[in-house]
Amino acid sequence: MYFKKLGFPIIKNFSGDIREFTPVLFEYLKGFDVQPVLENGYGSRLGYTHQDYLKVFPEIRFADREEVFHQDLLITLKNPDLDDLEMLKDGSGLFSMIHYETRPKCVDLIHRKHLHSFSMDALVDDQGIRTFVDYFGTAYAGCETAFGVIKDTRKDFASPDRDPFVVTIVGAGGVAQGCVRSFEVIGDHELFAKKLPGILTQVITRSITTDDNNLKKILKKTDILVDATKRPNSSTFIITNEQLGYLPENAIILDLAADYYDATTNMVKAFEGTLKGTFDKRVLYPDDPEYDDIPEGIDRANRRITVSCDAWPSINPHTSIAYYEGIMKNYLNLLLTRDSESFKANSNDCFERSLFRSTISYFDENKKK
């Protein structure tokens, strides 16, 4: 299938998350034989008007939400909710952060409507490393927020006699590495210049998290505990709620994974009994009533202040969107000039190989293995 009519919706299912593209991307799209259709009000939360988009691409049309979803290919950084996706035409295309592994209901919809789907989060290189992701943007936004809570809650924050703050990161991938760099930047800015004790950052993996005795020793000295995990099995906890009780009472839990509980698929968060926040509610306190909504059978007795958000890059939206727009050009060049069913796993083009690995058919085939 060739994609000529492109739909760009406003994200509405993630409160406060601004994910519209800027006129810069549409100036690039002008070089293709395409007709972009933008939802009325698109870009206004970033400070752009309709005229700003029309200046760079006069053929852009603005329309209501339903018409936007009726185009050949829907392009959005955040995946719309299921009700909106139902508006997609059967056999049309979807280029978004779909997250096949953790969104089984969305996968069912893609199959039922025979969508040509390309999952941005499944764009990986030949070594399986994600290529369409802002690891540092995600990490820095969360680390900066968590450090702000420490700054506001620790009475000894400005004392030159206190011990360094200890950050313990669970995970060793791109987000975890982004955390190490983020806390270095934050420490240099907030502490080094003021000659205050700094930040000791450590990364722990399965050799520690599966050893309760060693984990206990580490957690008892941890000021910020970070979930930067990507689990192959989302139905099991990495750290139990009982183990979270080893943390000091004034410790902060930083949730960068932003997983959630889903009783229908047995999905749980990596740290048992913790909450997932939103853009509008990023700091969650131990007495938050949302703890009552955690599914039965999940221990939530041990609680700490939790910093969490399901849209971390949107904390600095202009920077994040500009980053993604730069990456997107490599893939749009193929999506808008080729038959979507022609992509090959053994292509000489690394971006074509990556696009092939992002399809629903590739996901289905590898899920069986």
pLDDT at res. 126: 94
> If you write DSSP's letter for every residue of 204-259 in order, what string do you get?
E-HHHHT-HHHHHHHHTT-SEEEE----S-TTS-SB-HHHHTTS-TT-EEEESS--
Question: Would you state the pLDDT for residue 13?
Answer: 62
Residue 146 main-chain phi, psi, to 5 deg: -65, -40
What pLDDT was estimated at residue 369?
61
Q: What local confidence, expressed as pLDDT, does residue 55 receive?
A: 98
Domains 5-122+317-363 and 135-314 share a fold: yes
Backbone angles phi, psi at 300, to 5 degrees: -135, 25
CATH class, range 5-122+317-363: alpha beta
Q: pTM of the prediction?
A: 0.79
Task: Answer whether 63's CB lies under 8 Å from 37's CB.
Answer: yes
Token pair 């004392």 is found at 159
Round to whole Å and give the CA distance between 149 and 251: 10
Helix (H) or strand (E) holding 168: strand 165-170
- Digit-coded pLDDT (tens) for 258-275: 888 888 778 899 999 999
> CA-CA distance, 92 to 114, in Å (whole number)?
8
Q: How many CA atoms lie within 13 A of 342 on its CB side?
A: 10
Instruction: Kindly report, residue by residue over 285-338, the tens digit of the pLDDT.
Output: 999 999 999 999 999 999 999 999 988 877 888 888 999 999 999 999 999 999
Residues 180 and 168: their CA atoms lie apart, in Å, by: 10
- Cβ atoms 241, 272 nearer than 8 A: yes
- Number of residues that make up the chain: 369
Task: Transcribe 280-312 into DSSP letters.
Answer: S--EE-TT-GGGGGSPTT----S--EEEE-S-G
pLDDT of 231 reads 82
The residues of the chain scoring below 70 in pLDDT are 13-16, 368-369
- Amino acid letter for position 240: T
Rounded to the nearest 5 degrees, what angle is found at the Cα of 201, between the Cα atoms of 199 and 202? 155
Q: Which residue has the tokens 């700091």?
A: 283
Delimit the domains of the chain by residue range. Answer: 5-122+317-363, 135-314
Largest interatomic CA distance in the chain: 66
Determine the topology of domain 135-314 in CATH: Rossmann fold (3.40.50)
Pairing of strands 165-170, 224-227: parallel
Q: Can you name the residues that pair with 305 across neighbouring β-strands?
A: 252
Residue for token pair 């996706």: 85
**Structure tokens given for 187:** 């420490």
